[in-house]
A and B are shown apart, each in its own frame.
Chain A
Amino acid sequence: MDLRRTMLFMPGNNPGMLQNGGVLGADSVILDLEDAVSPQEKDAARFLVSQALRFVDYRGSERVVRINSLDTFAAQDIEAIVPCQPDALMVPKVQCAEEIHEVEQLIAKTEFPGQRPVKIIALIETPRGIAECYPIARASKRLVALAFGAEDYTATLGAERTKEGLEIVTARSLLVNAAAAAAIQSIDTPFTDVNDFEGLARDTAFAKQIGFKGKLTINPRQIDVIHERFNPRQDEIVWAQQVIAAIEQAKIQGSGVIALNGKMIDAPIVSRAERTIQLARRVGLLTEGREQ
């Protein structure tokens, strides 16, 4: 299971931040060549990110590079970055499946023989992108997640962006559904008030509730709050363990119908329980053979 509870943006032309990315504890770091870099410094950021990918130890964090859009510097970014072996490229403002095909071809042309395939994460930031989510989600085997960018989306929509986020409920749901239908992950939009941790906790809890698997993160101080919300709660872990135990018991007894506390357990419930156990193990809340 690839864990992307937090995907932390780091400006691609800031050496101090790039070199410290490995100690912040995010599941993924996103070395940003796009919005965080002024047009006249794109070349410098490309060199700096290339060097960081090769020489900075990002420990367990996935190394993602957000490239520029296809109508600007994407081809130059891909040519420079892919041979430095990032784990994934994040493609901004994706509006249709063809754009993913184009990026896929540029990556394939640049990868060296034997290189671990570079994955793609599509950032959906426009109403058209939301409308095209499912074809985008199925556009490439390299595609592992759809991420949502609400700021550009609401600007194009002509809606006011609020902390409550009613204006983005539909877009979030469509994106989560498309990603799930294509069996890839969905990553929620950032929470932009970096001093409001209660608001961040509420927003993250809602994202988890509707099915997101992680959240874009714009400040290292947001990481712990987001992880806490995406980690399984103790009661969820206990419930999942009970489900698995009931399944085992029923197998021993040869019983066809399985119930827990008077409620029937069917395949989707088992699947959810297994996912919870798997996630709890992955984040260290459970260890094999000694589960609390």
Chain B
Amino acid sequence: MSQMLTATQSGTLESNDIMITLAPNFKGSGIKLELESVVLAQYGEVLRQVILDTVTSQGVTDVLIKAVDRGALDCTVRARVLVALERAGVKIRSLAEKTSN
């Protein structure tokens, strides 16, 4: 299991982007996600799943996530979550690792 060490941020509030803020959570408290999106009604569930899948794929289990989406594609969401995790001290597995789109 990878452990997050610090609170971090990535992305922007520009169109087609998403801003991700991460903070460590108590051990055993799980992943808590707060999501805002301009397309929440249409794609909220998909977005939520992409964020959670990306976090769990890196072995992180206890984290607070705030995501403010401005219409980002899945690949942008993954990139922004991964860089936030790396900035928080998580060692990221290969970037070329296959994940579904």
Contacts and interface: CB of A to CB of B under 8 A. Distances in A.
Interface stretch (B10-18, B25-33, B38-46): B10-18
B96 A44 contact: no
Interface string A3-26: 000000000001110010000000
A52 interface: yes
B87 A43 contact: yes
Interface residues of A, number: 20
Given A16-B14, A43-B83, A48 B76 contact: yes
Interface of A: 14-16, 19, 43-44, 46-48, 50-52, 54-56, 80, 83-85, 112
A85 B101 CA distance: 17
Contacts of B94: 83
Contacts of B74: 55
Contacts of A48: 76, 79-80, 83
A83 B83 contact: no
Interface string B83-101: 1001100000011100001
A16 B70 CA distance: 10
16 contacts: A15-B16, A15-B76, A15-B79, A44-B10, A44-B11, A47-B82, A50-B96, A52-B75, A54-B75, A55-B74, A55-B101, A80-B95, A83-B94, A83-B95, A83-B96, A112-B96
Given A44-B79, A47-B79, A84 B15 contact: no
B83 A47 contact: yes
Contact of A47 (B14, B17, B73, B95): B95
A112 B96 CA distance: 10
Contacts of B16: 15-16, 19
B86 A43 contact: yes
B69 to A, nearest CB: 11
A50 B95 contact: yes
B75 A51 contact: yes
Given A19-B76, A84-B95, 20 more contacts: A15-B17, A15-B76, A16-B15, A19-B16, A19-B73, A44-B11, A44-B79, A47-B80, A47-B82, A47-B95, A48-B76, A51-B76, A52-B75, A54-B75, A55-B74, A80-B95, A83-B95, A83-B96, A84-B96, A112-B96
Contact of A15 (B72, B95, B96, B101): B72
B15 A55 contact: no
Contact of B80 (A44, A55, A85): A44
A153 to B, nearest CB: 33
Enumerate the 8 nearest inter-chain pairs by beta-carbon distance, A residue then B residue, closest first.
A83-B96, A16-B16, A51-B75, A55-B75, A47-B79, A15-B76, A50-B95, A48-B79
Nearest to B85: A47
A62 B72 CA distance: 24
A54 B10 contact: no
A48 B77 CA distance: 9
A43 B8 CA distance: 13
Interface in B13-64: 14-17
Contacts of B96: 50, 54, 83-85, 112
B17 A16 contact: yes
Q: Which of B73, B74, B87 has the most CB of A within 10 A?
A: B73
A55 B101 CA distance: 7
A77 to B, nearest CB: 11
Nearest to B16: A16
A258 B82 CA distance: 66
Contacts of A44: 10-11, 79-80, 83
Contacts of B80: 44, 47-48
